Chains A and B, each alone.
Chain A
Amino acid sequence: MTGAYFAGVDAGSTYTKAVLLDSDSKPVTTAIDMTGINIVSAIDKVYHAMLAKAGVNEREVGYVVGTGYGRYKVTFGNSQVTEISCHAKGAYTLFPKTRTVLDMGGQDTKAIRINGRGEVVDFSMNDKCAAGTGRFIEGSARALGLTLAEVGDISMRSTKPIKISATCAVFAEMETQEQLAWGNKLEDILYGVHVSIASRSIGLLRRVGIEQEVTFTGGVSLNRGMVKCVEEQLGSKVNTNPMTMFCGAMGAAEFAREKAMVAAREVARP
């Protein structure tokens, strides 16, 4: 076996994320950047930034798995796995008691149910419409001139959420402006936005059936307002931590590690 490290690269619609694991499945380091228009160079940049941060040479990496929308663009990867399997694997690695995963990213929301071995039993995704995804929050943030990190926190100050019905990202900006124009409070509007998106994703979770524990992954899991809304609507706690945004890459790296082990065993066999 050539390398002692295993990498996962998740080329998402909004961010490209990478995770490096050692042979004990321990995260060594992570890296992230906007995917932007040139996905190939984003992948390259993030991957090399990660290696540089870890002080690891490319040759020391035994196996690379690509995932996310741009998984086929991870040209230096050894194989590709869909982000559904990766998020499941990642969530299971981070929180082994996970049975249900909610992944909210830039233009996709996924609900995944897994078994006691971290394998996917059932999954469901939003239909061919980006309504109710992270992009909606980005739109509202833009309309209000706020950063993504701020919106969730501000929404948590609300005492009386405004009802927001549209969850279409295209109209997020307009609806937010309209509510402001009617003199509604910023935090109440934002809370309304979060409530409405959370309820759509709970619908997806119900499709696969909700079993404890629930782990919330993807970029939106960094949004504390959304975590709160999801928990309120579920009536239970969800797992999140600073690594959940990297869950897809984490799962990919874990797959890389497992695949390398299998390959090594096969080589070892005479």
Chain B
Amino acid sequence: MITAGVDSGTKNTKAALLEDGKKVLATSGVRTGFDFAKSASEAYDQALAHAGLGKGEVAYLTATGFGRYRIPFRDVSVTDITANAKGARLLCPKTTCVLDVGAGNARASRVDEGGKIVNFKSTEKCAAGGGGFLEKIAFYTSIELKDLGDVALRSANPVVMSTVCSVLAESEVINLVTQEVPMEDILMGAHSSVAGRVVLTLKQVGVQPEVTLTGGLVMNAAFVRALEEKLKMGVNSSRELYYAGALGAALLGYRRLMKKSSANGVA
């Protein structure tokens, strides 16, 4: 049985197709525009095309993410925290802590052996810690987003950035550039500062290995390194985990269908 998950984020919309709650058939991502529904169906169509499947072959579609209520073709919706936790466990079964870091903010959750969320927390509203800040820095420094992390990784003496406010952090970055601090040190400092906020949130829910990172920042090696240094432990961060939310949604859909059919007596 094939189920689908669509994760409608503020920046990117991701879709995934899953077979029998186990096998990943396809994933895809597009930029979220103004029309959540349109971006969602684009991402979904792309995933279907990758897998060479038609809409009719998908038994159930679960929506998640910021725009979950704006996807008219969903069967059900769940929150991105639940979906990411499920997705992380699907890809890394020993996961205890899940960190989902997207563009806007970061969410940390801790799950028990059964995969049930026992505690979760999101970064505080004031002091946003997320990928959006890094995007802005990329914009300012005219470095491509995908190269940002690599430049930062060359740093030997990352600067310490103390501001809580990301608006003012931007001007701190500008100040540092003016003081001719090497670009890589500034960038690594910026990555560390986001990682610091994320780790703070994770510590509030309680850190236990294994920690799995999901969301857009798995694409950023410098962020992963900053995170590992701050946590003093390794973090699962394979690229597939970018789609954890969509995959988790698909998995939850699968479970729900199974429950329904067993309730109906159909095995």
Asked if B178 and A128 sit within 8 Å, CB to CB, the answer is no
Contact for B168 among A36, A70, A107, A180, CB less than 8 A: A107
Provide the residues of chain A in CB contact with B36, threshold 8 Å.
Answer: 181
Which of under 10, 10 to 19, 20 to 34, or 35 or more describes the interface residues of B?
20 to 34
A28 to chain B, nearest CB (A): 29
Q: How many residues of A contact B (CB 8 A)?
A: 28
Asked if A36 and B178 sit within 8 Å, CB to CB, the answer is no
A129 to chain B, nearest CB (A): 6
List CB contacts (< 8 Å) of A120-178 with chain B.
Answer: 128-130, 133, 135, 144-145, 166, 168-171, 173-174, 177
Chain B contact residues: over half helix, strand or loop, or mixed?
helix
Provide the residues of chain A in CB contact with B74, threshold 8 Å.
Answer: none
Asked if A174 and B165 sit within 8 Å, CB to CB, the answer is no
Contact for B174 among A13, A133, A169, A173, CB less than 8 A: A13
Asked if A174 and B10 sit within 8 Å, CB to CB, the answer is yes
Q: Does B216 reach chain A (CB closer than 8 Å)?
A: no
Provide the residues of chain A in CB contact with B132, threshold 8 Å.
Answer: 173
Instruction: Please name the residue on chain B nearest to A34 by beta carbon.
Output: B140
Asked if A130 and B168 sit within 8 Å, CB to CB, the answer is yes
Asked if A168 and B126 sit within 8 Å, CB to CB, the answer is yes
Provide the residues of chain A in CB contact with B128, threshold 8 Å.
Answer: 170-171
Q: Given that A128-B168, A168-B126, A174-B10 are contacting pairs, would A73 and B178 also be in contact in the complex, using a CB cutoff of 8 Å?
A: yes
**A169–B169 Cα gap in the complex (Å)?**
12
Provide the residues of chain B in CB contact with A38, threshold 8 Å.
Answer: 177-178
Asked if B177 and A37 sit within 8 Å, CB to CB, the answer is yes
Asked if B10 and A130 sit within 8 Å, CB to CB, the answer is no
Contact for A129 among B66, B125, B165, B171, CB less than 8 A: B165
Q: Given that A107-B167, A171-B125, A173-B10 are contacting pairs, would A70 and B67 also be in contact in the complex, using a CB cutoff of 8 Å?
A: no
Binary B-proximity of A57-89 (CB < 8 A = 1, otherwise 0) = 000000000000110010000000000000000
B136 to chain A, nearest CB (A): 10
**A177–B33 Cα gap in the complex (Å)?**
10
Provide the residues of chain B in CB contact with A180, threshold 8 Å.
Answer: 34
Instruction: Please name the residue on chain A nearest to B183 by beta carbon.
Output: A37
Asked if B174 and A35 sit within 8 Å, CB to CB, the answer is yes
Asked if B165 and A181 sit within 8 Å, CB to CB, the answer is no
Q: Which 10 A-B pairs have the closest CB atoms?
A: A130-B167, A170-B128, A169-B167, A39-B178, A37-B140, A37-B177, A170-B166, A13-B171, A135-B167, A174-B104
